[in-house]
Structure 1
Amino acid sequence: MLSKAQIKRHFSGLLTSHSILQDMAGLPTAVQVLRQLDYVVYGWGSLADSAGDALVEAGVGLVHAFGSAQTGTLAALRPSQVTADSRFFRLRHDVHYAVEEVVPASHEPREKYKISVRLPGLSRDLLLDGCISATDRSFHPTEQQETLTTSIGLDENLPGHSMRCALPAFALAALGVAASPAPSISARSPHGYLSTKKPLRRCAGVCTVKR
Structure 2
Amino acid sequence: MAAAPLGAPFTVGFDLDMTLLDTRPGIKATYDAIAAETGVPIDSALVVTRLGPPLETELANWFPADRVDAVADRYRELYVHLAVPACVPLPGAREAVAAVRGHGGRVVVVTGKHGPNARLHLDHVGLDVDALAGSVWARQKGAVLRAEGASVYVGDHLGDITGAHAAGALAVTVATGPYSRAALHTAGADVVLPDLTAFPTWLTTHLLTTPTPV
Q: Normalising by the residue count of structure 1, what TM-score does the alignment of the two structures yield?
A: 0.23
Larger Rg: 1
**Per chain length, whose mean CA-contact separation is higher, i.e. which structure has more relative contact order (CA < 8 Å, sep 6+)?**
2
More helix by share: 2
TM-score (ref. length: structure 2)? 0.23
Of Structure 1 and Structure 2, which has the larger fraction of its residues in strand? Answer: 1
